[in-house]
């Protein structure tokens, strides 16, 4: 039982790399002449980034000699809310029921979302850095399994492994990304991994493909209090303000303002914004009859279409007059991804370690070593929680520094949780 | 809702009525399929709300059936109230959801208000029996016609609506009855102040969030007695400060200064130029034409001999006299008027006419000598030419003498040179557009940099223009330059060290080429770099700046000499000059992104700096006139011109007295608030803070005026303005309490209740006796009179009746203060 639990803990650590200090990142934010981070990347930038990532995938695949057994799928996202120093992140693999699964064991690809706002050069380096860390972690985990070593200090070991790998990648990048890519494939093959990399611009081109992720994303929001407060701050900053009606005659302005208050339209915007940040997509639809009102569409039952219309997946009809909000945008599709995806892996960690602790505590009365393991796992859980808090602060901490705490009545009554 | 829309060019209401009438006529025919189809088409056309899912979506047979039915259904189908169909008839047929909207519309339009009120009342009272559709109709009609409801009915409907409205809302469900009930309740609260005691009862029972929102929404649109109603509601509710503030924020009227639309050039440059040229041509041709036509008439029709025979000597003598007059008038104007005015004051059109008449006379004498046969006509022509010369000379002398008065000279200058002033503005408009393009171009080029000052390195190769003018970039040349290998590889860099679009002097370093250690730029590369820099002549704009400077000086001199009326007239010419120029500058709208800024308007800077420095040494009436002029100039400028910032900068450099400084800040802040120029307001607030810290009461009063005006013009920053003012006030001092009362009264007048509450709380926490002090001030005629004057000068922030405004705030302070603090 212990081994099975350890194995799950190892797996969850496979694809959670730390931030890389890459050469292309030097001067990106200090040199005003450098194109640097783009707040709103245009189509030409997305096209350039797509073709560069595709080229990198091509080089990696061509360099492989054996058959593939470690698949990686690269996707692009456009970042509007997280820190500009976010280069890429791992999209947790979930089965059709929405439960975590091990992509490497099942032959599914490890999905990586690359932040398209970054300079193209930096994106390539970040991918290579990630692949280097992924392989190094695989190597380390294999060694731990072979030796039946304790996983109580897995987090520190992974950090050390990441640092070694990072140094190696940065060294190799002096010879260019092609040489680094070829060396990465060679290293993977040396360790028994046949690296197969594919590029698909959007992780989920249709809303249907992320519907199974929504319950877990809701859990992330409901169970991680610090994240919830940050999300609420973002919502408050964007949709929690007072409605602003400009122009027109005074009487008309007063009347419109009154209607937005009476019908709670601003709360509909806040609800939709929260849905977008947590689940990826949020919708506000305006009624067509008097008096004008608004309501939200459930992200589980809506497929966004172009030009302010949405398909109601339950009724099967098309609805017009819909405002659609997204968390991370995906190129080539109106479907968005939730900002809470950044914390999904931590929820899995928390679940797995929590379950391990509970199991150990159950057996601690009869097995003396179980009590010791429970204590070790508890310490690991504490460290993971601190790591999660640090990462959250790094990725979304800006909002807590610059945006006030939202009003208590940001959402409708009874809607403080998702 | 039933406003006139245009459908295929015809007013929609007319189409609807016509369709309704035609459908009524067709109803007398038997119910054949074709007739029913036509009726259905007409019924659909008669529906005034095509965007609503009303009966127009029904099948043809059902629509025709409705139209053929009698009573309420037919009225709904035809969208027309028929004789004998009352509100209850209409309400009784509402059995399906699609009938709710059209039925509610017709009931709301029904002229019998008492019957309507009764129908709604009965429907809501018997809500369990009538079903959701009729209930929805009743609430919709209540929302539309709340003001005509009987008080007893309104009271019952309000009670029922609040019960329904208090139910929890599922945001993922389309709004249902509860939203209609909320709208209806809010409308009753807005239109029935007599039901306030009922509201107070509800408020005393600690109602839920929905009820508070409904009451706030109703008060928000109430037209009269709003201040007292809000205070009484707070007194009944007695919430804590946070809840009270949140309640008042919902009632606040959110005024903000609207965007200022750019002007197109008020006068077409071409038309102005053509009319000016036409007048000049007429002045030249009229003497010759009149003389020739007059001569023909006299000799051939009237057969009269010329009374005089002008000789060539006489003609040349006339020309000589004209030269002398010309020189004399030029000397006179030059001696009495400054520069550019003198140049144009002596150039009257009558001078051109006089010259034309003299040359006509000489020409006629020459023709007479060469062709003696034409002697009668030529002699007459010469005589008439001489007569016209005398007349034109008289006009010339009169015009020149008149123009020796500076005010006339200034007006004549604007009249004659208006087109050139507008042209200068159009030139600057084009330069502004080009400068933005230049900045965008540089942002996309790695080998070109904008630097604040010349690069301090010895190996730079300087680029300096040969003449004065506006610094611009040549797009194509810049692309050609940066496409060259040395620039693409980053070995060479062009550093532009002067702001694009601003005036540079001849031989001043505006850019430089720098290179890496291994590269020496060739002369060819340097030539390419020089070609990428362009300097456009500033002469058209300089001429306007010169005229503005002259007019400012002239107005100032006249003020100093005590001729205030003439100074004011010259000042108005200056305003007209800037108006013409700025209408050209604003001719083509230039959309700006983010922090982009346009080059300043040099004549505006000249005028404002001149006026501010002149104002610095004035007091009394001359100062008032000068401040009035500055205000006029500020109101010509748009946000992109940054006039308040310019005035701030020049006012500081002219070191005015405290009084003048505070007045200039008041003008600048007022305009900045109107233009929503927050950058200028930040500067102004800092300046005021510094002066107040230095002990200036004048600046404190100006700060109070600024905050009071902000209540009207910038709702979304109104709280911050009070917080800022509060930080420099000591509310235990009587004079500072007066200031707080002023701003509080302005906040109430502007219906910014949340800020008025903040002021109340601050006043009470500083000293509870401030309640009595405010009441005393409201009854103090001297205080009211001084506040009236201040408010009028500061933009009328205390409304039409400053005395009532202060009284209302005193009452609000007492009632709301007790409610929140108690």
Q: What is the pLDDT of residue B725?
A: 95
Q: What is the pLDDT of residue B455?
A: 62
pLDDT > 70? residue A24: no
User: Is A246 close to B258, i.e. CB distance below 8 A?
Assistant: yes
Task: Give Rg (Cα) of chain A.
Answer: 23
> Residues A400, A402, A408, A409: is their CA dihedral positive or negative?
negative
Nearest chain B residue (CA) to A266: B171
Q: Which of B570, B490, B500 is nearest to B534 (CA)?
A: B500
Angle between the N-to-C axes of helices B602-616 and B539-561, in degrees from 0 to 180, rounded to the nearest 10: 20
pLDDT, one tens digit per residue, over A365-382 is 788 888 888 888 899 899
β-strand partners of A76:
A114
pLDDT > 90? residue A219: yes
On the CB side of B612, CA atoms within 13 Å amount to 29
Classify residue B553 by burial, with Cβ atoms within 10 Å: 0-12, 13-18, 19+: middle
pLDDT, one tens digit per residue, over B619-637 is 888 888 899 999 999 999 8
Angle between the N-to-C axes of helices A120-147 and A2-12, in degrees from 0 to 180, rounded to the nearest 10: 170
Q: Which of B237, B246, B123, B111 is nearest to B180 (CA)?
A: B123
* Shortest Cα distance, chain A CAs vs residue B144, angstroms: 10
Measure the CA–CA gap between B184 and B141, rounded to whole angstroms.
8
Measure the CA–CA gap between B349 and B357, rounded to whole angstroms.
12
Nearest chain A residue (CA) to B49: A289
SS3 letters across B502-558 = CEECCCCCCEEEEECCCCCCCHHHHHHHHHHEEEEECHHHHHHHHHHHHHHHHHHHH
User: Is A297 close to B1, i.e. CB distance below 8 A?
Assistant: no
Measure the CA–CA gap between B449 and B461, rounded to whole angstroms.
15
**CB contact at 8 A, A71 and A331:** no
Q: Which of A247, A262, A295 sits opposite B171 (nearest CB)?
A: A295
Residue B679: other Cβ atoms inside 10 A: 14
User: Is A258 close to B173, i.e. CB distance below 8 A?
Assistant: no
Q: Which of A287, A296, A409 sits opposite B172 (nearest CB)?
A: A296
Measure the CA–CA gap between A97 and B643, rounded to whole angstroms.
64
Measure the CA–CA gap between A44 and A14, rounded to whole angstroms.
34
At residue B309, φ and ψ (nearest 5 deg) are -125, 80
- Cβ-based contacts of A293 with chain B (< 8 Å): 174-175, 179
B425-to-A69, A179, B574, B632 alpha-carbon distances in Å:
71, 60, 15, 18
Q: What is the pLDDT of residue A75?
A: 97
* Shortest Cα distance, chain B CAs vs residue A357, angstroms: 39
A116: Cβ–Cβ under 8 A, 6 or more apart, which residues?
A: A41, A45, A46, A49, A76, A77, A78, A79, A123, A331
Residue A170: other Cβ atoms inside 10 A: 18
Query: How many inter-chain contacts (A to B, CB under 8 Å) are there?
Result: 104
* Shortest Cα distance, chain A CAs vs residue B252, angstroms: 9
- Cβ-based contacts of A39 with chain B (< 8 Å): none
Instruction: Name the residue with higher pLDDT: B821 or A140.
Output: A140
User: Is B179 close to A289, i.e. CB distance below 8 A?
Assistant: no
- Cβ-based contacts of B188 with chain A (< 8 Å): none
- Cβ-based contacts of B250 with chain A (< 8 Å): 261
Residue B438: other Cβ atoms inside 10 A: 24
Q: Which of B172, B209, B253 sits opposite A295 (nearest CB)?
A: B172
Q: Which of A33, A291, A295 sits opposite B143 (nearest CB)?
A: A291
Nearest chain B residue (CA) to A241: B716
- Cβ-based contacts of A264 with chain B (< 8 Å): 169, 171, 213
Q: Which of A60, A7, A87 is nearest to A187 (CA)?
A: A60
Q: What is the pLDDT of residue B82?
A: 73
Q: What is the pLDDT of residue B216?
A: 93
Classify residue B444 by burial, with Cβ atoms within 10 Å: 0-12, 13-18, 19+: exposed
Q: Which of A105-119, A167-181, B255-269, B695-709 has the least mean pLDDT?
A: B255-269
User: Is B168 close to A414, i.e. CB distance below 8 A?
Assistant: yes
* Shortest Cα distance, chain B CAs vs residue A415, angstroms: 9
pLDDT, one tens digit per residue, over A7-16 is 554 444 444 4
pLDDT, one tens digit per residue, over A311-325 is 988 888 888 889 999
pLDDT > 50? residue A276: yes
User: Is A258 close to B186, i.e. CB distance below 8 A?
Assistant: yes
Q: What is the pLDDT of residue A10?
A: 46
Q: What is the pLDDT of residue B548?
A: 93
Average pLDDT, integer, range A274-297? 87
Most B CBs within 10 Å, among A272, A273, A290, A410, to test the B interface? A290
pLDDT > 70? residue A22: no
B493's enclosing H/E stretch is strand B492-496
B626-to-B337, B574, B582, B620 alpha-carbon distances in Å:
21, 12, 20, 10
- Cβ-based contacts of B168 with chain A (< 8 Å): 412-414
Q: What is the pLDDT of residue A275?
A: 97
Average pLDDT, integer, range A64-89? 91
Q: What is the pLDDT of residue B272?
A: 66
B98: Cβ–Cβ under 8 A, 6 or more apart, which residues?
A: B53, B54, B55, B57, B58
Q: What is the pLDDT of residue B742?
A: 94
What 3-state DSSP class applies to A198? Answer: strand
pLDDT > 90? residue A283: yes
Measure the CA–CA gap between A267 and B515, rounded to whole angstroms.
58
Q: How long a stretch of residues is chain B?
A: 822
- Cβ-based contacts of A245 with chain B (< 8 Å): 254
pLDDT, one tens digit per residue, over B291-348 is 889 888 888 888 888 888 888 888 888 888 888 878 887 887 777 777 777 777 767 7
Q: Which residues of chain B have a pLDDT value below 70?
A: 1-11, 48-57, 256-273, 346, 454-459, 594-595, 821-822
**CB contact at 8 A, B662 and B794:** no
User: Is B175 close to A245, i.e. CB distance below 8 A?
Assistant: no
SS3 letters across B239-251 = CCHHHHHHHHHHH
| Helix, strand, coil percentages in chain A from 3-state DSSP, rounded to 5 | 55, 15, 35
Q: What is the pLDDT of residue A29?
A: 46
pLDDT > 80? residue A249: no
Measure the CA–CA gap between B641 and B633, rounded to whole angstroms.
11
Instruction: Name the residue with higher pLDDT: B55 or A83.
Output: A83
User: Is A264 close to B216, i.e. CB distance below 8 A?
Assistant: no
Q: Which of B158, B163, B77, B150 is nearest to B119 (CA)?
A: B150
Measure the CA–CA gap between B254 and A254, rounded to whole angstroms.
8
User: Is A262 close to B186, i.e. CB distance below 8 A?
Assistant: yes
Measure the CA–CA gap between A397 and B399, rounded to whole angstroms.
75
Q: Which of B714, B636, B629 is nearest to B663 (CA)?
A: B629
Mean pLDDT of chain A, nearest integer: 85
């Amino acid at each position: 039982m212990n081994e099975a639990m350890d194995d799950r803990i190892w797996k969850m650590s496979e694809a959670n790399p730390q931030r890389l200090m890459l050469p292309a990142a030097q001067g990106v934010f200090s040199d005003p002449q450098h194109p640097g981070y783009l707040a709103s990347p245009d189509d030409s930038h997305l096209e350039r980034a797509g073709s560069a990532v595709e080229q990198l995938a091509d080089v990696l695949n061509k360099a492989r000699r054996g058959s593939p057994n470690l698949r990686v799928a690269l996707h692009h996202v456009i970042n509007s809310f997280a820190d500009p120093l976010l280069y890429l992140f791992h999209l947790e693999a979930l089965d059709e029921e929405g439960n975590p699964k091990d992509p490497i064991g099942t032959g599914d690809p490890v999905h990586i979302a690359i932040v398209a706002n970054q300079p193209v050069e930096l994106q390539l380096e970040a991918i290579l850095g990630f692949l280097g860390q992924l392989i190094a972690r695989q190597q380390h985990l294999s060694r731990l399994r072979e030796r039946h070593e304790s996983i109580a200090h897995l987090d520190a070991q992974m950090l050390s492994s990441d640092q070694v790998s990072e140094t190696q990648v940065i060294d190799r990048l002096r010879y260019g990304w092609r040489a680094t890519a070829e060396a990465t494939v060679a290293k993977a093959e040396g360790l028994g991994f046949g690296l197969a990399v594919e590029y698909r611009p959007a992780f989920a081109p249709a809303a249907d493909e992320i519907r199974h992720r929504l319950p877990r994303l809701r859990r992330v929001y409901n169970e991680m209090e610090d994240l919830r407060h940050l999300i609420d701050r973002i919502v408050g900053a964007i949709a929690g303000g007072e409605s602003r009606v400009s122009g027109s005659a005074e009487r008309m302005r007063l009347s419109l303002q009154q209607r937005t208050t009476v019908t709670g339209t601003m709360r509909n915007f806040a609800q939709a914004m929260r849905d977008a940040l947590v689940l990826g997509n949020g919708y506000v639809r305006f009624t067509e009859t008097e008096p004008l009102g608004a309501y939200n569409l459930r992200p589980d039952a809506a497929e966004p279409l172009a030009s302010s219309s949405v398909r109601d997946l339950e009724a099967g009809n098309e609805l017009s007059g819909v405002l659609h909000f997204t968390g991370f945008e995906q190129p080539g599709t109106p479907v968005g991804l939730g900002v809470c995806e950044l914390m999904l892996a931590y929820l899995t960690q928390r679940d797995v370690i929590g379950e391990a602790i509970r199991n150990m505590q159950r057996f601690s009365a009869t097995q003396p070593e179980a009590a010791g393991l429970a204590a070790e796992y508890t310490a690991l859980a504490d460290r993971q929680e601190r790591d999660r808090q640090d990462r959250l602060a790094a990725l979304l901490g800006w909002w807590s520094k610059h945006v006030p705490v939202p009003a208590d009545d940001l959402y409708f009554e009874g809607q403080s949780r998702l | 809702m039933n406003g006139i829309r245009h459908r295929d060019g015809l007013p929609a209401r007319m189409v609807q009525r016509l369709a309704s009438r035609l459908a009524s006529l067709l109803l007398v025919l038997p119910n054949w399929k074709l007739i029913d189809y036509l009726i259905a088409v007409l019924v659909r056309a008669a529906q005034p709300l095509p965007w609503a899912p009303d009966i127009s979506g029904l099948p043809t047979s059902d629509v025709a059936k409705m139209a053929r039915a009698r009573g309420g259904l037919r009225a709904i189908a035809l969208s027309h109230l028929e004789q004998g169909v009352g509100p209850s008839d209409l309400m009784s047929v509402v059995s399906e959801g699609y009938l709710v909207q059209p039925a509610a519309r017709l009931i709301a339009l029904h002229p019998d208000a008492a019957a309507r009120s009764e129908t709604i009342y009965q429907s809501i009272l018997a809500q369990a029996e009538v079903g959701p559709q009729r209930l929805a109709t009743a609430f919709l009609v209540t929302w539309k016609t709340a003001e005509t409801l009987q008080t007893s009915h309104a009271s019952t409907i309000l009670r029922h609506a609040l019960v329904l409205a208090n139910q929890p809302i599922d945001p993922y469900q389309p709004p249902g009855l509860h939203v209609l009930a909320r709208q209806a309740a809010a409308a009753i609260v807005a239109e029935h102040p007599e039901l306030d005691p009922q509201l107070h009862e509800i408020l005393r029972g600690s109602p839920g969030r929905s009820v508070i929102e409904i009451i706030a929404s109703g008060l928000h649109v109430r037209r009269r007695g709003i201040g007292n109603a809000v205070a009484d509601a707070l007194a009944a509710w007695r919430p804590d400060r946070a809840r009270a503030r949140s309640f008042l924020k919902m009632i606040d009227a959110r005024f903000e200064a609207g965007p200022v639309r750019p002007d197109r050039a008020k006068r077409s440059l071409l038309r102005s130029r053509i009319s000016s040229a036409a007048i000049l041509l007429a002045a030249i041709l009229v003497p010759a034409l009149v003389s020739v036509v007059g001569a023909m008439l006299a000799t051939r029709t009237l057969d009269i001999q010329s009374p005089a025979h002008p000789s060539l000597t006489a003609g040349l003598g006339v020309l000589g006299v004209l030269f002398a007059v010309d020189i004399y008038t030029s000397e006179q104007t030059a001696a009495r008027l400054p520069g550019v005015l003198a140049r144009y004051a002596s150039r009257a059109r009558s001078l051109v006419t006089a010259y034309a008449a003299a040359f006509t006379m000489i020409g006629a004498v020459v023709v007479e000598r060469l062709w003696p046969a034409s002697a009668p006509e030529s002699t007459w022509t010469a005589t008439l030419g001489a007569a016209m010369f005398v007349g034109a000379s008289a006009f010339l002398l009169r015009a020149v003498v008149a123009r020796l008065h500076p005010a006339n000279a200034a007006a004549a200058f604007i009249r004659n040179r208006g087109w050139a002033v507008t042209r200068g503005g159009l030139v600057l408009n084009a330069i502004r557009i080009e400068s933005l393009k230049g900045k965008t171009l540089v942002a996309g080029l790695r080998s070109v940099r904008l630097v604040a000052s010349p690069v301090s390195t010895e190996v730079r190769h300087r680029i300096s223009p040969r003449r004065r003018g506006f610094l611009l970039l040549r797009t194509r040349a810049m692309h050609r330059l940066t496409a060259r290998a040395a620039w693409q590889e980053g070995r060479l860099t062009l550093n532009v060290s002067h702001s694009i679009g601003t005036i540079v002097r001849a031989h001043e370093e505006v850019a430089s080429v720098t290179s890496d250690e291994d590269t020496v730029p060739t002369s060819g590369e340097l030539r390419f770099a020089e070609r990428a820099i362009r300097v456009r002549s500033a002469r058209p704009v300089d001429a306007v700046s010169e005229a503005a400077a002259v007019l400012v000086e002239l107005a100032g001199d006249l003020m100093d000499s005590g001729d205030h009326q003439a100074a004011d007239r010259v000042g108005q010419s200056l305003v007209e000059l800037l108006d013409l120029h700025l209408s050209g500058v604003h001719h083509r709208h230039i959309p700006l992104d983010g922090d982009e800024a346009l080059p300043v308007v040099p004549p505006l800077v000249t005028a404002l700096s001149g006026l501010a420095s002149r104002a610095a040494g004035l007091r009394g009436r001359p100062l008032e006139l000068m401040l009035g002029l500055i205000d006029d100039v500020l109101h010509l400028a748009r946000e992109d011109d940054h006039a308040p910032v310019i005035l701030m900068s020049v006012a500081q450099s002219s070191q005015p007295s405290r009084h003048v400084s505070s007045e200039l800040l008041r003008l600048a802040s007022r305009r900045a608030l109107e233009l929503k120029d927050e950058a200028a307001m930040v500067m102004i607030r800092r300046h005021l803070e510094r002066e107040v810290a230095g002990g200036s009461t004048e600046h404190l009063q100006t700060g109070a005026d600024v905050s009071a005006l902000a209540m009207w013009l910038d709702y979304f920053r109104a709280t911050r303005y009070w917080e800022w003012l509060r930080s420099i006030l000591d509310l235990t001092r009587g004079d500072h309490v007066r200031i707080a009362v002023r701003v509080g009264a302005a906040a109430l007048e502007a219906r910014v209740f949340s800020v008025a509450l903040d002021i109340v709380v601050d006043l009470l926490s500083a000293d509870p006796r401030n309640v009595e002090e405010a009441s005393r001030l409201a009854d103090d005629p001297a205080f009211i009179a001084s506040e009236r004057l201040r408010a009028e000068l500061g933009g009328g922030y205390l409304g039409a009746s400053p005395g009532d405004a202060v009284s209302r705030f005193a009452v609000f302070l007492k009632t709301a203060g007790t409610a929140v603090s108690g």
